[in-house]
Structure 1
Amino acid sequence: MAIPFHHRLFATVALLAGAYTTQAQHSPVPAFTGTVGKTLAETTAGNTQFNPAAKPGAPNIVYILLDDVGFGASSAFGGLVDTPIFDSLANNGLRYTNFHTTAICSPTRASLLTGRNHHSVNVNTVIDAAVDAPGHNGYIPFEKGTIAEIARENGYNTFAVGKWHVTPTPDISPAGPFNRWPTGRGFDHFYGFLAGETDQYTPQLWENTVKIEPDLHGKHLTTVLVDKAIEYIAGQKTAAPDKPFFLYLTPGATHGPHQVDKQWIDKYKGRFDGGWDKYREEVLAHQKQLGLVPANTTLPVRNSGVKAWDSLSAVEKKVFARFFEAYAGFLSHTDYEVGRLIHYLQEINQLNNTLVVLIIGDNGASKEGGLTGHAFGINEYIDGSVYTEKYEDRIAAINKVYDLIGSSKSGPNYPAGWAQAANTPFRYLKQDANSEGGTRNPLILFYPDGIKERGIRTQYSHVNSVTPTVIDIAHLTVPDVINGYRQDSLEGVSLAYTIANEKASDKHHVQYYEISGSRAVYKDGWKAEVYHQTGTPFTNDTWELYNLQDDFNEQHNLAATQPDKLKELQNLFDEQANKYNVYPLLGDTQGRDFSKLTKGPFDRRKQAILYPGVTQLPTRAAPFLYQHSFSIKADVEITDTRNEGVLLAAGGRFTGFTFYVQNGKLTVAHNNNGKLVYLTSDKPIAKGKAILRYDLTYIPAKNLTDEAGTESLYINDVKVAERKITKADATILPYDEGLDVGRDNASPVSPNYQTPFTFTGILHKIIVDHVIP
Structure 2
Amino acid sequence: MEHVTQRSLLTAGALSAVLAPAVDAMAAQAGTAQPAQAKTGQGAPNVIWILLDDVGFGASSVFGGLVETPNLEALAAQGLRYTNFHTTAISSPTRAALLTGRNHHSVGLGLFPETAVDLPGYNAQIPANKATVAEILKNNGYSTYAVGKWHLTPAWEASPTGPYTHWPTGKGFEQYYGFLFGETDQWHPQLVDGTRALDDDPKGRHLNELLTDRAIQYIDQQNKKPFFLYYAPGATHAPHQVAKEWSAHYKGRFDAGWDSYREQVFANQKKLGLIPQNTALPPRNPNVKAWASLSADEKRLYTRYFETYAGFLSYTDAEIGRLIAYLKQSGQFDNTIIAVVIGDNGASKEGSEFGSTVGLGAVLYPNGDIARQLKDIDKIGTEYASANYPLGWAQATNAPFKQWKQDANSEGGTRNPLILSWPKGIQDKGGTRTQYGHVIDLLPTTLELAHLQAPAQIDGVKQDSIEGTSLAYSVTDAKAPSRHTTQYYEINGTRAIYHDGWKAGTLHKPGTAFDKDVWELYNVAVDPTETNDLAAKNPDKLKELKALFDSEGKKYNVFPLKDNLYQQFALDRSAYKDQEVVELNPGVGHIAGVAAPRLYSKYYRLTVDLDIGANSEGVLVANGGRFGGSSIFLQGGKLYYAQTNGVESALISSDVPLKSGKSKLTVEFSPNLWSGADITLYQDGNRIGKGKVPVRYGIAYFPYDEGFDIGRDQQTPVSELYKSPYAYNGKLEHVTIDYKAPLGSRVVGSVNQKVINTLISLKK
Q: State TM-score, norm by structure 1.
A: 0.89
2:483 to 504, 507, 520: 507
Equivalent residue in structure 1 for 2:300, among 295, 313, 318: 318
1:506-540 CA deviation, whole Å, 9 max, x = no partner? 11111111111111111111111111223444355
**Is the 8 Å Cα contact of residues 197 and 591 (structure 2) preserved in structure 1?**
no
Q: Tell me, yes or no, if the aligned pair for 1:634 and 1:647 is still in contact at 8 Å.
A: yes
Root mean square deviation, CA, Å: 1.9
Q: Deviations over 1:121-152 (max 9, x none)?
A: 11111222222211111111111111111111
1:716 aligns with 2:684: yes
Q: What one-letter code is carried by the residue in structure 1 that aligns with 2:530?
A: E
Deviations 1:295-319 (A, max 9, x none): 1222212224211001111110001
1:183 maps to what in 2? 169
Q: Tell me how far 1:727 sits from its aligned partner.
A: 2.2
Deviations 1:703-726 (A, max 9, x none): xxxx23422222233333333443
CA distance in structure 2 between the partners assigned to 1:537 and 1:610 by the alignment? 46
Which of 213, 227, 230 is equivalent to 2:216?
230
Please name the residue that 1:749 is paired with: 718
1:264 paired with 2:246, answer yes
Q: 2:427 aligns with which of 452, 475, 479?
A: 452
Within-5 A mapping of 1:453-468: 453-454=428-429, 455-468=431-444
2:6 is matched with which residue? Answer: none
Match of 1:425 in 2: 400
- Counterpart of 1:361 (choices 343, 368, 380) is 343
* 1:104–1:363 contact (8 Å) kept in structure 2: yes
Bigger mean CA deviation after superposition, 725-734 or 487-496: 725-734
Residue by residue, what CA displacement relative to the aligned partner does 1:245-264 show, whole Å, maximum 9, x if unpaired? 11111111111111111111
Give the 3-state SS of the residue equivalent to 1:592 in structure 2: helix
Give the 3 Å change call, closer, same or farther, for CA 588–248 of structure 1 in structure 2: closer
Q: Deviations over 1:684-740 (max 9, x none)?
A: 211233322222222234xxxxx2342222223333333344324933321111011
Cα separation, 2, equivalents of 1:588 and 1:409? 33
Distance 2:570 2:740 in 1: 16
Distance 1:683 1:541 in 2: 62
8 Å CA contact retained: 2:618, 2:727: yes
- Tell me how far apart the structure 2 counterparts of residues 511 and 119 of structure 1 sit (CA, whole Å): 13
Letter in 1 for 2:188: T
In the alignment, is residue 248 of structure 1 matched against residue 230 of structure 2?
yes
| 1:740 and 2:709 correspond | yes
1:650 is aligned to 2:623: yes
Match of 1:36 in 2: none
618, 626, 639: which is aligned to 1:666?
A: 639
What is the distance in 2 between the residues matched to 1:497 and 1:575? 28
> What residue is the counterpart of 1:624 in the other structure?
598
Partner residue, 1:11: none
Equivalents in 2 of 1:572, 1:60: separation in Å?
38
**1:682 maps onto 2:655 in alignment:** yes
- Supply the distance in 1 between the matched residues of 2:738 and 2:85 (Cα, whole angstroms): 49
Letter in 2 for 1:258: H
Question: Contact conserved, 1:625 with 1:732, CA < 8 A, in 2?
Answer: no
Aligned equivalent of 2:206, options 210, 214, 220? 220
Aligned to 2:752: none
Report whether the alignment pairs 1:342 with 2:324: yes
- Secondary structure of the equivalent of 1:128? helix
| Residues 111 and 565, structure 2, Cα contact 8 Å, conserved in 1 | no
Map Cα deviations across residues 463-488 of structure 1 (whole Å, 9 max, x no partner).
Answer: 00000111111111111111111111
Report SS of the residue matched to 1:279: helix
The 1-side partners of 2:366 and 2:92 are apart by 32
- Gap change, CA 1:250 and 1:643, over 3 Å in 2: same
Distance across 1 between alignment mates of 2:621 and 2:419: 46
Q: 2:445 aligns with which of 438, 460, 469?
A: 469
The alpha-carbon deviation at position 177 of structure 1 amounts to 1.8
Q: Which residue of the other structure, out of 679, 683, 695, is the alignment partner of 1:727?
A: 695
**Structure 2 equivalent of residue 283 of structure 1:** 265
Distance 2:365 2:511 in 1: 20
Q: 1:481 to 1:213 in 2, by over 3 A?
A: same
Aligned residues of 2:426 and 2:475 also touching (Cα < 8 A) = yes
Q: Partner letter of residue 415 of structure 2?
A: R
For residue 556 of structure 1, what is the amino acid of its counterpart?
N
Provide the residue aligned with 1:569 in structure 2. 545
Give the superposition deviation at 1:221: 1.2
Equivalent residues in 2 for 1:379-398, closer than 5 Å: 379-380=360-361, 385-386=362-363, 388-393=364-369, 395-398=370-373
| Unaligned 5+ runs, structure 2 | 1-28, 742-748, 750-764
| In structure 2, C-alpha distance between the alignment counterparts of 1:590 and 1:699, rounded to whole Å | 23
Contact 2:160 2:590 in 1 (8 A): no
CA gap of 1:696–1:259, structure 2 versus 1, over 3 A, is same
Do the aligned partners of 2:645 and 2:702 also contact (CA within 8 Å) in 1? no
Give the match's secondary structure for 1:564.
Answer: helix
Q: For residues 380-400 of structure 1, what are the alpha-carbon distances to aligned partners after superposition, in whole Å with 9 as ceiling and x for unaligned?
A: 3xxxx43x514252x111100
1:535–1:590: 8 Å Cα contact kept in structure 2?
Answer: no
- Which digits, 9 at most, give the CA deviation of each residue in 1:154-177, with x for residues without a partner? 111111111111122221112112
Superposition map of 1:762-773 within 5 A: 762-771=731-740
- State the SS of the aligned residue for 2:385: coil
1:559 equivalent in alignment to 2:535: yes
Note if contact 1:641-1:685 (Cα within 8 Å) is conserved in structure 2.
Answer: no
**How much does 1:758 deviate?**
1.7
Number of aligned residue pairs: 708
Q: 1:733 & 1:623 partners in 2: Cα distance?
A: 13
2:424 matched to 1:441?
A: no
- Partner of 2:333: helix, strand, or coil? coil
Q: Tell me the TM-score normalised to structure 2 length.
A: 0.90
- CA drift at 1:334: 0.8
1: CA distance between counterparts of 2:547 and 2:276? 30
Equivalent residue, structure 2, for 1:28: none
Q: 1:725 to 1:718 in 2, by over 3 A?
A: same
Superposed, 1:273-312 pairs within 5 Å as 273-312=255-294
Residue 426 (structure 1) shift: 1.0
Report the counterpart of residue 136 of structure 1 in structure 2: 122
Secondary structure at the residue paired with 2:263? helix
Q: Which region of structure 1 is more displaced relative to structure 2, 96-105 or 624-633? A: 624-633
For 1:583, the aligned partner's letter is: F
Pairwise mapping of residues 17-166 of structure 1 onto structure 2 (< 5 A)? 50-166=36-152
Instruction: Tell me, in whole angstroms, the C-alpha distance in 2 between the residues paired with 1:279 and 1:325.
Output: 13
1:255-282 CA-partner distances (Å, limit 9, x unpaired): 1111111111111000001100000000
Equivalents in 1 of 2:389, 2:317: separation in Å? 19
Q: Helix, strand or coil: the match of 2:176?
A: strand
- Of 575-584 and 265-274, more deviation after overlay is shown by 575-584
The within-5 A match list for 1:573-588 is 573-588=549-564
Aligned-residue offset at 1:49: 10
Q: What is the match of residue 611 of structure 1?
A: 585
- The Cα of 1:577 is off from its aligned counterpart by 1.3
Amino acid at match of 1:389: Y
TM-fit CA distance, 1:93: 1.0
Match for residue 525 of structure 2? Answer: 549
For the Cα contact (< 8 Å) 1:534–1:590, is it kept in 2? no
Q: Residues 358 and 216 (structure 1 numbering): CA distance in 2 closer, same or farther, change over 3 Å?
A: same
Residue 698 in 1 paired to residue 671 in 2? yes
Matched, 1:601 2:575: yes
Between the aligned partners of 1:313 and 1:771, the Cα distance in structure 2 is: 52
Distance 1:756 1:392 in 2: 32
Verify the 8 A CA contact 1:320 1:414 in the aligned structure 2.
yes
- 5+ residue gaps in structure 1? 1-39, 41-47, 702-706
SS across alignment from 2:722: coil
